[in-house]
Structure 1
């Protein structure tokens, strides 16, 4: 089975003050930290070989999980620690030496999901591209009324705060090891820049559209919503 990398080294600035003393992936969600939910999800999908890329307050993550057996006897966790914030792409580069020659899964350390990985892995294998990016559909409501006009500027339609649907990045990927060829070492690089660099050199990336449930805990509002949801599920824990 494939290895998985969890990117868990960010500063969590949008979740301050919660993250002054605790790294974002270790914030509690229900009965366990966010990161443990992710490790359990990977394990339930048959992924037992996990690499956690740490940085900010790394010792809290490493002390909690140890070698991984605290989650499950057959889970193995290794760590690669970066000395400074590198953004997602730059931090991904830090795990290059421990990946090997097989494709591998990458997930952000703040994404909770029930995505079934088997169809995703099959999709990536069939497409034979450099990367597969998981996307989810997001419906948003415009803050404004939208005016549709004719060529002579006459009003055709007034649409009050219309809803639009778009595909957005879910923060889960499968990469071939040659992805590291497109990431400079020890530099701050966002994940979108990694894709842009690779595609500029004629690499192909594919999008796997999923209807799974996703919770992206990116700021204080989304964290509060996630906590409330899990509290309801656990009967007030």
Structure 2
């Protein structure tokens, strides 16, 4: 969400499922969980001491079902979408994608969907050697063996007609496949860093990168 906010996009809709109540509680108590604050017991007022940039965020939390697949979740938030062009991402991918350039690319080709293609990092570190002497070691370098869907997507409202609210309605294996067959999906190639959080180790590694130097 901070990636999108950095580029000026601050209106969010979150599709809730498993443990959605925890996410609701987090955002409901967002100010006190993320800031220092002063409680004035005389007038019952709370003053938050913050330099966060989330004050202009609008976050809509929608219960889309515990077992609902992604296509069904997207369809179930349709009534909350008020734009012809919308953005979509997963909650486990991060990267230095230029969101404004991504949007500009989408607007240039007149197709229904744009996905961001990324080169995934290797599952293992890479050793570079010369004459059996290690000259370099790279932790999880990016591969160049093929693009994968990096998550950051843009779609026209027309895409929603390819999905239903049925909990078994998938996104990639269903509506998106049909859109591909119809030639309605374009790829924005991102050459920079990208990573996803699949394990606790991934989370710790990315949090360390996020910390101010």
Contact 1:215–1:226 at 8 Å: present in 2 too?
no
Q: For 2:192 and 2:28, locate their aligned partners in 1 and report how far apart those are by CA, in whole Å.
A: 30
Deviations 1:160-179 (A, max 9, x none): xxx86111110121011111
Query: What's the CA shift for 1:89?
Result: 1.7
Cα 1:96–1:67 shift into 2, 3 Å: farther
Aligned pair in 2 of structure 1 residues 46, 234: CA closer, same or farther (>3 Å)? Answer: closer
TM-score (norm 1): 0.65
Match of 2:112 among 130, 153, 157: 130
Quickly say closer, same or farther: Cα 1:45–1:187, change in 2 above 3 A: same
Q: Where do 5+ consecutive residues of structure 2 fail to align?
A: 35-51, 124-142
Counterparts of 2:154 and 2:87, CA distance in 1: 4
**TM-score (normalizing by structure 2):** 0.72
Deviation at 1:229, TM superposition (A): 4.4
> What's 2:39 paired with?
none
1:115-139 C-alpha deviation (Å, 9 max, x unpaired): 1101100000001100000011247
Root mean square deviation, CA, Å? 2.6
Matched, 1:102 2:64: no
1:186 CA displacement: 2.2
Give the superposition deviation at 1:233.
Answer: 5.9
Alignment pair present for 1:213 and 2:175: no
Shift in Å at residue 47 of structure 1? 0.6
- Work out the CA distance in 2 between the residues paired with 1:124 and 1:63: 35
Question: By how many angstroms is 1:93 displaced?
Answer: 1.2
Q: What is the distance in 2 between the residues matched to 1:109 and 1:233? A: 16
In the other structure, the counterpart of 1:117 is 99
- Distance in 1, Cα, partners of 2:80 & 2:16: 14
Q: Following TM superposition, by how much is the alpha carbon of 1:217 offset from its aligned partner in structure 2, in angstroms?
A: 1.2
Which consecutive unaligned segments of at least 5 residues does structure 1 have? 1-38, 142-162
Q: Which residue of 2 aligns with 1:198?
A: 179
Give the deviation of 1:113 after TM superposition. Answer: 1.9
Shift of 1:83: 2.4
Structure 1 residue 187 and structure 2 residue 149: aligned?
A: no
1:65 correspondence with 2:27: yes
